[in-house]
Amino acid sequence: MKLQERVFSGMQPTGSLHLGNYLGAMVQWIEMQKTHACIYCVVDLHAITVWQDPKELRDAIRQVTAAYIASGLDPKKSILFNQSQVSAHAELAWIFNCVARLGWLNRMTQFKEKAGKDREAASVGLYAYPNLMAADILAYRATHVPVGEDQKQHLELARDIAQKFNNDFRAQIEALGHADGEFFPQPDPVIMGPATRVMSLRDGTKKMSKSDPSDLSRINLTDDADTIARKIQKAKTDPEPLPSEIAGLAGRPEADNLVGIYAALAGKTKEAALAEFGGQQFSSFKKALAELAVARLAPLGDEIRRMTGDPVEIDRVLADGSARAREIATPIMNEVKDIVGLIRS
Ligand code: AMP
Ligand code: TRP
């Protein structure tokens, strides 16, 4: 790792976490803390771009924090905190509101999806959401951002904002001693992990999602052992036995998804999973998958429940992480203010 490399990522505290979040994001964040200096943020200011019940929001912030720690995130090594406790995020987001162009935000597909038909009724915060995301990353001058496929466009916008800021204030940036004129780095998306797209257990063509009305479509990280096993038994399949090779999964989205989940949980490739189960019926495969999922996920749920029973301890972890985040962001924000021409004390 180069000295100045820094990882930043964020997760919204809305709804309950599920297997897709775990395999698509959490496992990967935890892996990166072995090799990088990492900052992980529970993005509560992003959550309120759509209405949140205040009590549920507070519970969700603590639940996401607990889930990360239960999954292996070490809050002594990595920085784990909630966004609203570090004012640099909101301050830099305002400056980026003045750097980003309306035309850039108008192209954001996630806003169009989330705002739906009645765009006039969406909050201004939902529209400016990608500027806050750019501020999250650049307030720490982070260089690597592990995210899901769906966040690629927002990352491109963060890169555009970094570049326009560097261009607009080149003289001031160089005057402050940044000889290359690069105050903000161009953050790189890191899209990887064992299962970047976990699909619904009821429909292999739809993403597993917290907003799916059917609870049977997903495995929540707080489901108990019986619930996990029952959801796998009820998962949609097709009548054919499992193929022995990857090519045989084509056109069989449910089989593909379950094999992918098995492989990710077992730390194997899909090829290895098929070598094990090729030719077998779903009934025996599902039994093995349920055993594995229960062994991996039930203790996680127990630990999340235990931790959220002690909110004082979770709040202490978040306060500690926020203080460490502030130490990095404050000097960067001071330089930003000097560059832009604001007076600070
Ligand atoms: P969200 O729950 O949409 O706020 O996403 C939080 C994180 O989990 C993001 O990094 C997503 O890319 C990831 N994620 C959400 N759902 C899935 C899924 N079904 N499969 C893989 N990753 C997911
Ligand atoms: N928008 C991201 C999501 O919905 C969450 C997020 C907010 C984020 N700020 C970030 C991700 C900064 C990476 C870096 O998943």
pLDDT, tens only, 37-96: 999 999 999 999 999 999 999 999 999 999 999 999 999 999 999 999 999 999 999 999
User: Architecture of 215-306 per CATH?
Assistant: Orthogonal Bundle (1.10)
| pLDDT for residue 191 | 83
| pLDDT for residue 194 | 64
pLDDT in tens, 156-182: 999 999 999 999 999 999 999 998 889
164 carries an active-site annotation: no
| pLDDT for residue 197 | 87
Beta strands in the chain (DSSP E): 7-11, 38-42, 79-82, 144-146, 188-190
**Which bound ligand lies closest to the C-alpha atom of 137?**
2
Mean pLDDT of 103-112: 97
pLDDT in tens, 295-344: 999 999 999 999 999 999 999 999 999 999 999 999 999 999 999 999 99
pLDDT class of 1 with cuts at 50, 70, 90: very low
How far is the C-alpha of 18 from the C-alpha of 210, rounded, in Å? 7
Half-sphere exposure for 324 (CA within 13 Å, toward CB): 18
Mean pLDDT of 257-266: 96
Residue to mutate (ligand 1; options 8, 11, 21; most atoms within 8 A of CB): 21
| pLDDT of 3 strictly over 60 | no
Hey, what CATH class is 6-190+310-340 in?
alpha beta
86 in contact with ligand 1, CB cutoff 6 A:
no
What are the residue ranges of CATH 1.10.240.10 in the chain?
A: 215-306
Q: How confident is the prediction for the chain on average, in pLDDT?
A: 95
Lowest-confidence region among 37-41, 94-98, 145-149, 254-258: 145-149
Q: Which residues does a 6 A CB cutoff place in the pocket of ligand 2?
A: 8-10, 12, 43, 46, 133, 136-137, 145, 147, 151, 154
What is the number of the ligand 2 atom nearest to the C-alpha of 12? Answer: 5
What are the residue ranges of CATH 3.40.50.620 in the chain?
A: 6-190+310-340
Handedness of CA 270, 220, 307, 300 (dihedral sign): negative
Mean pLDDT of 192-219: 90
| pLDDT for residue 193 | 66
Inter-axis angle of helices 282-308 and 270-277, nearest 10: 130
Distance 225 CA to ligand 2 centre (A): 30
The CA–CA distances, whole Å, from 29 to 6, 40, 58, 87, 192 equal: 12, 8, 23, 24, 10
Beta bridge partners of 41: 10, 81
117 carries an active-site annotation: no
pLDDT class of 2 with cuts at 50, 70, 90: very low
How far is the C-alpha of 214 from the C-alpha of 131, rounded, in Å? 33
pTM exceeding 0.85: yes
**Percentage with pLDDT > 90 across the chain:** 92
